[in-house]
Amino acid sequence: MRMTRKRTATPAPASRSRSAEGRQRAPGRPPANRRSADGDVRERLLDAAIACYVRGGIAATSLREIAREANVTPALLNYYFGGKDELRDAVVAERVLPAVMQMRGGVQEAGDDMPALISAFVGGIGRAAAVNPWFPALWVREVLCEGGNLRELLFTQVGPQIPVAMVGRFAAAQQRGEINPDLDPRLLMISLVGLTLFPIAGAPIWRRLFADAGFGTDDLDLDTLRRHTLALLDGGLGLG
């Protein structure tokens, strides 16, 4: 009877084993320098998305356009966000809502002090625009214009916390005799938006218009707009 000799596997060289281990992802969180690099890339992709949203609108902007703006491949956007809707949600959560919350903080702190409340809102719009120059134009395009992609955001998150709350305070102050009785508290809120957000969003238009007519506009910065708006409101509101 012929006996067959059992063959045993030859162990891989140590160098090959270590190489294979190196190709595997180590468990746990990535190194700090890797997390920092990932964060920088992610921020750059969010910046590119906002630039494209302001220029062409959220609905009309493709991942390919955003990738071109950021000088990356569309695959990288999918890697970081998963898709177009997820990228939009990230922009809202990490850029749009924080900009809005900057305004909410001052409004809450003002309480029922009408001059402080008005000043907090007007100044908050200016600060939000200074830190996020894209904010007024994106808000006008995606919230105020019909079909805007972020309109529901106003109804569900922003509206109850800022404009609705402020209208309630205006109405209470009017009953206490602290503001002009001829004003409508609801329209007062709309007027505040019209005196702050719209002039900033339309700045490229009126700056060119006045400059072409020979009127200088270099001194018309956000602080000048804030002081002008508060001076205009002071008499109309009857704050004394």
Class of domain 95-237: mainly alpha
How far apart are the two ends of the chain, measured CA to CA in Å?
Answer: 117
Identify which of 167, 164, 196 has the alpha carbon closest to the alpha carbon of residue 179. Answer: 167
Axis-axis angle for helices 114-131, 97-110 (nearest 10): 160
Q: What is the C-alpha to C-alpha distance for residues 166 and 102, in angstroms, rounded to an integer?
A: 15
pLDDT string in tens for the chain (240-residue length):
444 444 544 444 444 433 333 333 344 444 445 555 567 899 999 999 999 999 999 999 999 999 999 999 999 999 999 999 999 999 999 999 999 888 888 888 898 999 999 999 999 999 999 999 999 999 999 999 999 999 999 999 999 989 999 999 999 999 999 999 999 999 999 999 999 999 999 999 998 999 999 998 888 888 999 999 998 888 778 775
pTM of the model: 0.76
149: DSSP letter: T
Give the residue extent of every domain in the chain. 95-237
Take residue 189 and report the two structure tokens written for it: 């809120």
Q: What is the C-alpha to C-alpha distance for residues 137 and 144, in angstroms, rounded to an integer?
A: 10
Q: What is the C-alpha to C-alpha distance for residues 196 and 233, in angstroms, rounded to an integer?
A: 12
Per-residue pLDDT, 13: 45
Q: What is the C-alpha to C-alpha distance for residues 100 and 162, in angstroms, rounded to an integer?
A: 9
